[in-house]
Homo-oligomer: A and B are copies of this chain.
Amino acid sequence: MTIQEAREKLTALQQKMAAFEHASSLIFYDGATAAPKGVADNRAQSLGILSQEMYLLGTGKETVELLEYLDANREELDDHGKREVQLMLKDIRMMQKIPMAEYVAFQKLMVEADDVWHRAKENNDWASFEPVLTKVFDFHRKIAAWCAPDREPYDYWLDRNEEGATMESCDRFFATLREHIVPLLKKVQSKPQLENRMLKGHFSAQDQEKFARELMELIGLPMDRVGLATTEHPFTISLGSHLDERITTHYHEDDFSNSMYSVIHEGGHALYDTGSAPELAYTVLDCGVSMGIHESQSRFFENIIGRSRAFCEYIFPVVQKHFPQVQGSAEELYRAVNRAEPGLIRIEADELTYALHVMVRYELEKRIFAGELEVKDLPAEWNRLYREYLGVEVPDDRRGVLQDSHWAGGNIGYFPSYALGSAYGAQYLRKMKETVDVDACVRAGNFAPIDAWLRERIWKYGSLLTPAEVFRNAVGEEFDPTVFTAYLEEKFTDLYDL
Task: Tell whether A76 is near chain B: CB-to-CB under 8 Å.
Answer: no
Kindly identify, within residues 70 to 117 of chain A, every residue whose CB is under 8 Å from any CB belonging to chain B.
Answer: none
Task: Tell whether A53 is near chain B: CB-to-CB under 8 Å.
Answer: yes
Kindly identify, within residues 14 to 37 of chain A, every residue whose CB is under 8 Å from any CB belonging to chain B.
Answer: 15-16, 18-19, 22-23, 26-27, 29-30, 33-37
Q: How many copies of the polypeptide does the oligomer hold?
A: 2
Q: Is the CB of A42 within 8 A of B243?
A: yes
Q: Which residue of B lies closest to A50 (CB)?
A: B19
Question: Using an 8 Å CB-CB cutoff, how does the interface string of A128-163 with B read, 1 for contact, 0 for none?
Answer: 000000000000000000000000000000000000
Q: Is the CB of B34 within 8 A of A46?
A: no
Kindly identify, within residues 198 to 254 of chain A, every residue whose CB is under 8 Å from any CB belonging to chain B.
Answer: 222-227, 229, 239-241, 243-244, 246
Given A23-B23, A241-B45, the answer on whether A225 and B33 have CB atoms closer than 8 Å is no
Number of interface residues, chain A, beta carbon within 8 A: 40
Rounded to whole angstroms, the CA-CA distance of A355 and B307 in the bound complex is 61
Task: Tell whether A39 is near chain B: CB-to-CB under 8 Å.
Answer: yes
Task: Tell whether A399 is near chain B: CB-to-CB under 8 Å.
Answer: no
Given A15-B49, A42-B243, the answer on whether A229 and B34 have CB atoms closer than 8 Å is yes
- Min Cβ gap A242→B in Å is 9
Selected contact of A45 from candidates B15, B36, B39, B225, CB within 8 Å? B15
- Min Cβ gap A53→B in Å is 7
Selected contact of A19 from candidates B15, B29, B37, B49, CB within 8 Å? B49
Task: Tell whether A363 is near chain B: CB-to-CB under 8 Å.
Answer: no
Q: Is the CB of A49 within 8 A of B227?
A: no
Task: Tell whether A38 is near chain B: CB-to-CB under 8 Å.
Answer: yes
Q: Which residue of B lies closest to A49 (CB)?
A: B19
Question: Using an 8 Å CB-CB cutoff, how does the interface string of A29-65 with B read, 1 for contact, 0 for none?
Answer: 1100111111101110110111001000000000000
- Min Cβ gap A277→B in Å is 16
Rounded to whole angstroms, the CA-CA distance of A391 and B453 in the bound complex is 63
Task: Tell whether A407 is near chain B: CB-to-CB under 8 Å.
Answer: no
Task: Tell whether A282 is near chain B: CB-to-CB under 8 Å.
Answer: yes
Given A23-B46, A26-B27, A46-B23, the answer on whether A39 and B244 have CB atoms closer than 8 Å is yes
Q: Is the CB of A46 within 8 A of B19?
A: yes
Q: Is the CB of A34 within 8 A of B34?
A: yes
Q: Is the CB of B224 within 8 A of A38?
A: yes
